[in-house]
Chain A
Amino acid sequence: MKTPTEQSILEATWQAPAGPIGWLKTVNQTNIGKRYIVTAFVFFLLAGVLALLMRIQLSSPENNFLSPKVYNQIFTVHGITMMFLFAIPILEGIAIYLVPLMIGTRDLCFPRLSAYSYFVYLIGGVFLWVTFLMGHGPDAGWFNYVPLASKEFSTGIGIDIYVTVITFIEISALATALELIATILKFRTPGMTLARIPPFVWSILIMSFMVVFAMPGVIVGSLLLALDRLIQTSFFVHQNGGDPLLWQHLFWWFGHPDVYIAFIPATGIVSSIIPTFCGRPLYGHKAVISSIVLIGVISFGLWVHHMFATGIPLHASSFFSAASALIAIPSGIQIFCWVATIWLGKPIFKTAFLFCLGFIATFLLGGLTGFMIAIVPFDLQVHDSYFIVAHLHYVLIGGVLFPIMAGFYYWWPKFTGKMLSERFGKLSFWLIFIGFHLTFFPMHRLGFLGMPRRIYTYFEELNWTDLNLLSSIGSYILGFGFFLTLINAIRSYFKGKVSGDNPWGGTTLEWATKSPAPSCNFYYFPRVENLNPLVDQQPLPKAVDGVRNDIREVITTHIETAEPHAVIELPGPTIWPFWTAVFSAIAFIGSIFHPFWFVVGFFLTFIGVTGWLWVRKPWN
């Protein structure tokens, strides 16, 4: 260990600037990560409120609580917020915070890019919600099918806002993904070979590669749609030789992997938590990693299963049907490994672990219904019915949100240095678990009874009333469960018990430093000798000497062997990523109202990037 003075120099070097202007200048990964998590959680609560409003509307037949116009905006904004403003950003936020800690480095490799991607995300999300609350929300669903979303059938600015927000999130997600890939491959602490990367970091690496391959689909799609709407090109207009199905292909090329982009990091969280609470390493580490790689690859061959009802040829649908069923194999292997870890260990039932168990049970059901709808004739009956609503919420809440909640309870001490109340946590878990199944299980049957998705009302004769009421009651129990966790977090933040550095006995590097992590993450670069360095490597040996304290220096290592390569200096705080984000917002948001703003924003962005990259004189 270094002497306290050296530590304080190091901390001062990496310290984020203070004050409101300093807030805009901050580039540290721990700060940006926390901002992502808090912002995404706020969006989650907002979208959750929308879901509760929809459940009031559907709780009785021919209800007049919401008008169809408002209902359509609500379900659209609910979908967009949950997918684009919550699921992906919160996982990116967790990754931004934890990945450098887990691989033993001091920051992400492009700190200013993380600040930029956060501001872009924030502006995009706030813009969507402000316009929605002013009554201009998009109303063609998060999938935004043309021609309904074309200028002819959606004349307002709602769809333009959709296209803009999607573009924002694409930029933000792509920037973060590239940064995470580069960081994971080049910034691992000496000794952390590929085989010693923790499962969560692996899952983030795969997620990031998936983002890089999937996002271009929707980037092209939303660009073409923007052109169709703004300057009357006809990419999707069949009268002029375009094709409405092209949008569906482009959208689902992204949209299906998107589900796995959220799901894979979630399994990474589960693979980090289960071993800790079972008191032993993850069973079948290699099998788990291979499985998530496989899921990542296969998920790009499934997109047409969203389009079985469009009348595609039998051979094509057979291929996508088989590919969709195939995903059961790697998922099954992962579940096997988690169950095996539990068998081999001695489980301790903390809240985070309960959420993992809730995840296994719920995701399993969602996966099984997913297998059912891979079978084409069955899918043609339940497609776009409430059976699908049930299925997708089992997969996304069970498969993604439960792990996020587990991660929240598990890493909260890491983020804040405080403990959450276990009593509140367990109560919250049971309310969420029971509320969830009460809300979504009846929807399977509603689908069987012929209830289509996205309808704002229904007639009593259709026999859907009781199940809808049950579902609505469940949704309030579910909502209350999340509310309890919110209370728990606020309480803990102000007067929670101090947690200590490693309250759960975690074995990966993020627990090797102080909780909450100091500005520099680690006081020295540790040398990692195995997969769980904290088990038999205490205290962690120092890997290298001579990294400077007074500037933001980090070491880079070899991609495969993680032997030290070079020392590089990371850029420090600056206001320019913020301005660049504002300028790109002027370009994209302005173009909704007049194409002129795009030109203005373009040149302003150019100035922003120049300021961002301005070379400082070395003696400063």
Chain B
Amino acid sequence: MLKIFIFLFFSTLASCSGVQSIFTPATEETKNIVTIWWVLFGVCLFVFLTVITLLLIGLFRNASINEDKNLLKYLYIATTLTVILLIGTLVLSHQLSPRQNDANKGSPPSFKVEITGFQWWWRIRYFTMNNELLFETANEITIPKEVNVRFELLAGDVIHSFWVPKLAGKIDMIPGRVNTLNIRALEEGIFRGQCAEFCGVQHANMSFSVHVVSASQFKSWKNHQMKPAVSAKRYSRGRRIFAEAGCIKCHSIRNEFERAEIKAPDLTHLGSRKTLAALSLPNNLGHLSAWVTDPQNIKPGNLMPASKLNSKDLLSLLEYLESLK
């Protein structure tokens, strides 16, 4: 049994590939956390093996000891050892702890990102350091590589938790509070994250992604996002349907439609996003159609009602939305 157990233990540690694995870190902080894990693992494995070995010897040896007093010495030794291990590990892990304040390496950023958790999507707004709004988007965050980006985390309704395992440990988003997080990604790539605090019926499908790109790519992406969406004249029918079908109650498109109440994502550059419905679906016409016609089938319990458009109107609407590159 023990052998199987130890085997399982090691097989657990080996090969930690995975989209959200904490073992393929891409920031200094998360790399340190992996180091801390190995220290903790070493200490704990030592303790576990020692106790289990002593237990097994005690169970299966033949002779018995009669003298209780000898054991007292070992009790002191064991307790002292425990204290030393505890203090040692605490100090060591404290040394390796992420320090948000002195992570100011690299070029200083000219912007910050405000993220607000909603049931069940992420509102993302880019601000200048002087709190001027640059633009708004949803569910997909883009940041430049090797820049220390400041995230301000808020909650729009209930408590959520912001967690991108490869970039940072999780921080809760609590109504009435602003929590901050600094991320300085060392690698380019797309990093998946997910809400980590139970937030209601669709907690499972409240994901997001952080796209780390080079400085120049980021600049052009940012410039593009700052422009309002333009759609060709031939999509004007779809644009009209968007207004008439009631989409504008909850969704906005910058310079075109302003939503009455913030309950759903801004769709300004929807066509350029990779995913829909907080990473529930890939973004293309077919999936968008499925989402608009029957959102309750894809994310049961989410706040979006099904549309009752006829197929011609629906197609116009979808084409319009996808044209918002």
| A residues near B172, Cβ cutoff 8 Å | 309-311
Q: Is the interface of B mostly helix, strand, loop or mixed?
A: mixed
Which stretch from B16-24, B105-113, B139-147 is at the chain A interface?
B16-24
Which stretch from B90-98, B235-243, B254-262, B316-324 is at the chain A interface?
B90-98
| B residues near A309, Cβ cutoff 8 Å | 161, 169-172, 196-197
**A337 vs B55: C-alpha distance when bound (angstroms):** 11
Contact A449 B8 (CB under 8 A): no
A478 to chain B, nearest CB (A): 15
In the complex, whether A336 has a CB less than 8 A from a CB of chain B is yes
Number of interface residues of A (CB under 8 A): 84
Contact B202 A361 (CB under 8 A): no
In the complex, whether A453 has a CB less than 8 A from a CB of chain B is yes
A242 to chain B, nearest CB (A): 8
| A residues near B5, Cβ cutoff 8 Å | 437, 441
Within 8 A of A (CB), among B1-42: 1, 5, 8-9, 12-13, 16-23, 29-30, 32-33, 36-37, 40
Contact B196 A384 (CB under 8 A): yes
Contact A153 B22 (CB under 8 A): no
| A residues near B30, Cβ cutoff 8 Å | 381
In the complex, whether B247 has a CB less than 8 A from a CB of chain A is no
| B residues near A139, Cβ cutoff 8 Å | 201
A57 to chain B, nearest CB (A): 11
Query: Among A69, A321, A342, which residue has its beta carbon within 8 angstroms of that of B90?
Result: A321
Contact A153 B200 (CB under 8 A): yes
Contact B54 A339 (CB under 8 A): yes
Contact A329 B300 (CB under 8 A): no
Q: With A364-B48, A364-B51, A377-B169 given, is the CB distance from A343 to B71 under 8 Å?
A: yes
In the complex, whether B309 has a CB less than 8 A from a CB of chain A is no
| A residues near B29, Cβ cutoff 8 Å | 377
In the complex, whether A371 has a CB less than 8 A from a CB of chain B is yes
Contact B78 A332 (CB under 8 A): yes
Q: With A377-B96, A463-B18 given, is the CB distance from A361 to B52 under 8 Å?
A: yes
B97 to chain A, nearest CB (A): 5
Q: Mark A439-457, 1 if CB is under 8 A from B, else 0.
A: 0011011001111111111
Contact B176 A371 (CB under 8 A): no
B92 to chain A, nearest CB (A): 9
Contact B169 A344 (CB under 8 A): no
Which stretch from A141-149, A264-272, A533-541, A569-577 is at the chain B interface?
A141-149
Q: With A357-B55, A375-B89, A377-B98 given, is the CB distance from A344 to B8 under 8 Å?
A: no
Nearest-CB residue, chain A, relative to B12? A445
| B residues near A336, Cβ cutoff 8 Å | 74-75, 78-79
Contact A449 B20 (CB under 8 A): yes
B17 to chain A, nearest CB (A): 7
Number of interface residues of B (CB under 8 A): 84
Within 8 A of B (CB), among A320-374: 321-322, 325-326, 328-329, 332-333, 335-337, 339-340, 342-347, 357, 360-361, 364-365, 368-369, 371-372
In the complex, whether B158 has a CB less than 8 A from a CB of chain A is yes
In the complex, whether B126 has a CB less than 8 A from a CB of chain A is no
Contact B196 A141 (CB under 8 A): no
In the complex, whether A594 has a CB less than 8 A from a CB of chain B is no
Contact B86 A329 (CB under 8 A): yes
Which stretch from B58-66, B128-136, B210-218, B265-273 is at the chain A interface?
B58-66
Contact A462 B176 (CB under 8 A): no
Contact B158 A375 (CB under 8 A): no
Contact B36 A453 (CB under 8 A): no
| B residues near A360, Cβ cutoff 8 Å | 51, 55
| B residues near A335, Cβ cutoff 8 Å | 51
Q: With A311-B179, A339-B55 given, is the CB distance from A463 to B170 under 8 Å?
A: no
In the complex, whether A189 has a CB less than 8 A from a CB of chain B is no
| B residues near A153, Cβ cutoff 8 Å | 119, 157-158, 200
**A232 vs B93: C-alpha distance when bound (angstroms):** 45
Contact A147 B175 (CB under 8 A): yes
| A residues near B47, Cβ cutoff 8 Å | 364, 368
**A457 vs B79: C-alpha distance when bound (angstroms):** 44
**A372 vs B198: C-alpha distance when bound (angstroms):** 23
In the complex, whether A25 has a CB less than 8 A from a CB of chain B is no
| A residues near B98, Cβ cutoff 8 Å | 377
| A residues near B89, Cβ cutoff 8 Å | 325, 371, 375
B residues near A (Cβ < 8 Å) are 1, 5, 8-9, 12-13, 16-23, 29-30, 32-33, 36-37, 40, 44, 47-48, 51-52, 54-55, 57-59, 61, 64-66, 68, 71, 74-75, 78-79, 82-83, 86, 89-90, 93-94, 96-98, 119, 157-159, 161, 163, 165, 168-172, 174-177, 179-180, 192, 194-205, 300-301
Q: Which 3 pairs of residues, A with B, have the shortest CB-CB distance?
A: A450-B20, A380-B169, A238-B176
